[in-house]
């Protein structure tokens, strides 16, 4: 057996949920282009589709939305736990702790779509509760009149969002629902392959997502654009970075060796959101100049913008605070995790790979 560090290139599962083709720049959810779903469907429609494998009828969508809305309410014991946790605990750890407390009989094995809806609907309320608590503000209770995405913005900002804001965040959330056998998705499948319940799988996934190598950092793109400051400074700033051998944030990807389809779709919605603001002009000019200069300094490496680049524009345009960037990403990826948990449970075999022992052997033969 050949050892593959990080399991690179190893196929760990068969799935019908999503396909990432980094050479062609394809991201497909159950036979549909993710970027088209992101620009034309609601968050609830895509969530339903990912979990059920088919789109809802009008009636099914109404019922689905009503159920999701009813699951947003934070149980009082979760509020008590959130009140007890120290403010300095980061949002991802807070989410992991609060979700862990849901490990009740209602979430027992086997995993169900209803459980997936429940935990997905609750997550934005946990994020908003923690955020408002850290601000010293009162929690803004979920608004049952609003759909999932609008309600999330409302609970964070305390204002009803515009249609453009809802469309932009919907696109970002749909585009980050699923991305193949990434570390957190794999972690969730490994945990439930032991027939442990969905909540344990989600907690493992949140823990995995928290790591800086996975959870992403669109905030670093914002810092980079702020540092560049003016259009005249773009080229000298980039040359200086590349000559020092430093990387440009939001460019390059381990899988995509062409344009990241998520970046393309986010560019469309962030443009509507920014309405030609100076900051947006700066980021779009930076994109083109950087692609040209990356080809000059790193010929043939095929470096383009990744999802983080225009995610930064969307999240900045929405005024989402930086500490909520990874939690917001998590609030959509939980749909991918729970879909994989359901899929794993339907044709389960416990994960049990091998390790290659590189330690010492005893000096003498065993005595008994
Ligand atoms: N800026 C400048 N040069 C780059 C960049 C970049 N952003 N990305 C890759 N390169 C160069 C590397 O220096 C390397 O050059 P070399 O061949 O002369 O050594 C070559 O391109 C290949 O790069 P690798 O790092 O080997 O590519 P890998 O696939 O391992 O890395 C990664 C992908 C980590 C995303 C990398 O492109 C990077 O660090 N980008 C910047 C950080 C970033 O945007 N992260 C978010 C990724 S998206 C996500 O995680 C959801």
Show the tokens assigned to 126. 């946990």
pLDDT of residue 162: 95
Region 16-24: mean pLDDT is 95
Region 111-136: mean pLDDT is 98
As a whole number of Å, the end-to-end CA separation of the chain is 30
Phi, psi at residue 31, to the nearest 5°?
85, 5
Show the tokens assigned to 3. 């050892």
Known catalytic residues? 253, 308
pLDDT band at 20 (very low <50, low <70, confident <90, very high): very high
Does the pLDDT at position 276 exceed 70? Answer: no
Which atom of ligand 1 is the closest one to the Cα of 217? 46
Tell me, letter by letter, the H, E, C secondary structure of 302-322.
CCCECHHHHHHHHHHHCCCCH
Mean pLDDT of the chain: 95
Region 325-348: mean pLDDT is 97
Residue 256 burial (C-beta neighbours within 10 Å; 0-12, 13-18, 19+):
buried
pLDDT in tens, 1-15: 899 999 999 999 999
Measure the CA–CA gap between 351 and 214, rounded to whole angstroms. Answer: 22
Measure the CA–CA gap between 24 and 170, rounded to whole angstroms. Answer: 25
218 lines ligand 1 (CB under 6 A): no
Residue 125 burial (C-beta neighbours within 10 Å; 0-12, 13-18, 19+):
buried
pTM of the model: 0.94
Q: Which of 158-162, 269-273, 291-295 has the lowest mean pLDDT?
A: 269-273
Does the pLDDT at position 61 exceed 90? Answer: yes
pLDDT of residue 368: 87
Between residues 51 and 264, the one the model is more confident about? 51
Ligand 1 center–CA 214 separation, angstroms? 14
Measure the CA–CA gap between 146 and 161, rounded to whole angstroms. Answer: 10
Region 34-47: mean pLDDT is 97
Q: Whose CA is nearest to atom 44 of ligand 1?
A: 250
| Residue whose C-alpha is closest to residue 152's, from 132, 138, 134, 166 | 166
């Amino acid at each position: 057996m050949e050892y593959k560090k990080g399991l690179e290139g190893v196929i760990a599962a068969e799935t019908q949920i999503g396909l990432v083709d980094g050479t062609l720049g394809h991201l497909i959810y159950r036979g549909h282009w993710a970027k088209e779903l992101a620009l034309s469907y609601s968050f609830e429609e895509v969530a339903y589709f990912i979990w059920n494998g088919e789109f809802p009828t009008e009636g099914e969508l109404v019922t689905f939305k009503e159920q999701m809305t009813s699951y947003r309410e934070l149980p009082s014991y979760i509020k008590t736990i959130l009140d007890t946790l120290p403010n300095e605990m980061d949002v991802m750890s807070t989410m992991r702790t609060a979700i862990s407390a849901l490990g009740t009989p209602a979430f027992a094995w086997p995993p169900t779509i209803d459980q997936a809806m429940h935990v997905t609907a609750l997550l934005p309320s946990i994020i908003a509760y923690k955020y408002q608590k850290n601000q010293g503000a009162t929690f803004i209770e979920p608004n049952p009149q609003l759909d999932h995405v609008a309600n999330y913005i409302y609970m964070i900002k305390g204002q009803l969002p515009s249609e453009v804001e809802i469309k932009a965040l919907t696109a970002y959330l749909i585009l980050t629902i699923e991305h193949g056998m990434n570390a957190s998705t794999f972690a969730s499948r490994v945990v439930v392959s032991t027939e442990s319940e969905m909540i344990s799988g989600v907690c493992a996934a949140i823990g995995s997502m928290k790591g800086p190598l996975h959870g992403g950092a669109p905030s670093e793109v914002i810092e980079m654009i702020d540092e560049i400051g003016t259009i005249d400074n773009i080229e000298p700033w980039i040359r200086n970075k590349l000559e020092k051998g430093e990387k440009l944030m939001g460019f390059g990807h381990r899988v995509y060796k062409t344009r990241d389809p998520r970046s393309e779709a986010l560019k469309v919605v962030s443009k509507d959101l920014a309405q030609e603001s100076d900051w947006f002009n700066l980021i779009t000019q930076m994109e083109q100049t950087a692609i040209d200069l990356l080809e000059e300094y790193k010929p043939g490496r095929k470096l383009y913008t990744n999802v983080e680049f225009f995610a930064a524009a969307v999240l900045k345009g929405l005024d989402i605070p930086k500490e909520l960037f990874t939690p917001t990403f998590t609030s959509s990826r939980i749909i991918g995790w729970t879909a994989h948990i359901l899929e794993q449970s339907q044709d389960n075999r416990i994960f049990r790979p091998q390790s290659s022992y590189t330690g010492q052997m005893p000096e003498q033969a065993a005595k008994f």
